[in-house]
């Protein structure tokens, strides 16, 4: 793909899905840095356009760039992102709220499952694109999300038993 065509495709992606990119970046790197992460990810994609080999879609490649940028941003800071902070594990009045349940669940997920959840529910990616972004088979994506669902279901049952 010519560089001009790639930039045009990136621009279209940016204009169409900027808010979803920011949302995922927020989940990984925190709200304050999310916009900068997205800007940097697109700039990085343009700068390294030659590394796009056309083996998958531009969108899947871009998501990979963005996730790497967000992770790099997060690891450069001493504090953790909002969804990795464990302060929310404190429950109010003896009863965890729904927010607390979901936060606790997200925190408990292995890193790749967590990414799959973010990309599935914050970016609305289909299983095929998700597989391409994560570099796994479609069946693996399905298994990862299923495992994530099971863990949430189990935590809900535990709460109700209490």
Interface with another protein (CB under 8 A): 7, 11, 14-15, 18-20, 22-23, 26-27, 31, 34-35, 39-40, 42-44, 46-47, 82-83, 87, 90, 92-93, 97-99, 101-103, 106, 117, 121-122, 149, 152-153, 156-157
> How far apart are CB 135 and another protein at their closest, in Å?
23
- Asked if residues 144 and 110 have their Cβ atoms less than 8 Å apart, the reply is no
3-state helix vs strand vs coil in the chain, percent to 5: 75, 0, 20
> How far apart are CB 110 and another protein at their closest, in Å?
16
**C-beta closer to another protein: residue 55 or 98:** 98
DSSP reduced 3-state for 96: coil
Backbone angles phi, psi at 134, to 5 degrees: -85, -5
Closest to 148 measured CA to CA, from 119, 106, 90: 106
**C-beta closer to another protein: residue 60 or 117:** 117
Cα dihedral: 70, 76, 80, 84 (round 10)? 40
Cα dihedral: 70, 25, 63, 41 (round 10)? -60
> How far apart are CB 73 and another protein at their closest, in Å?
14
DSSP reduced 3-state for 75: helix
**C-beta closer to another protein: residue 75 or 93:** 93
> How far apart are CB 93 and another protein at their closest, in Å?
5
**C-beta closer to another protein: residue 80 or 135:** 80
**C-beta closer to another protein: residue 16 or 135:** 16
> How far apart are CB 72 and another protein at their closest, in Å?
15
């Amino acid at each position: 793909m010519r560089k001009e065509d790639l930039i045009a495709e990136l621009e279209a992606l940016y204009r169409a899905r900027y808010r979803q990119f920011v949302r995922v970046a927020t989940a990984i790197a925190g709200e304050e840095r999310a916009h900068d992460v997205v800007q940097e990810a697109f700039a990085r994609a343009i700068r390294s356009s030659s590394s796009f080999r056309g083996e998958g879609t531009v969108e899947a490649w871009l998501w990979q760039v963005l996730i790497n940028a967000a992770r790099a941003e997060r690891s450069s800071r001493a504090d953790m992102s909002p969804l990795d902070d464990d302060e929310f594990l404190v429950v109010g009045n003896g009863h965890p709220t729904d927010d607390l349940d979901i936060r606790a669940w997200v925190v408990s997920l292995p890193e790749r499952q967590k990414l799959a959840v973010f990309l599935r529910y914050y970016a609305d990616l289909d299983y095929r694109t998700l597989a391409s972004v994560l570099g796994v088979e479609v069946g693996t994506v399905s298994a990862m999300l299923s495992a994530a669902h099971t863990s949430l279901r189990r935590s809900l049952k535990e709460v109700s038993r209490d």
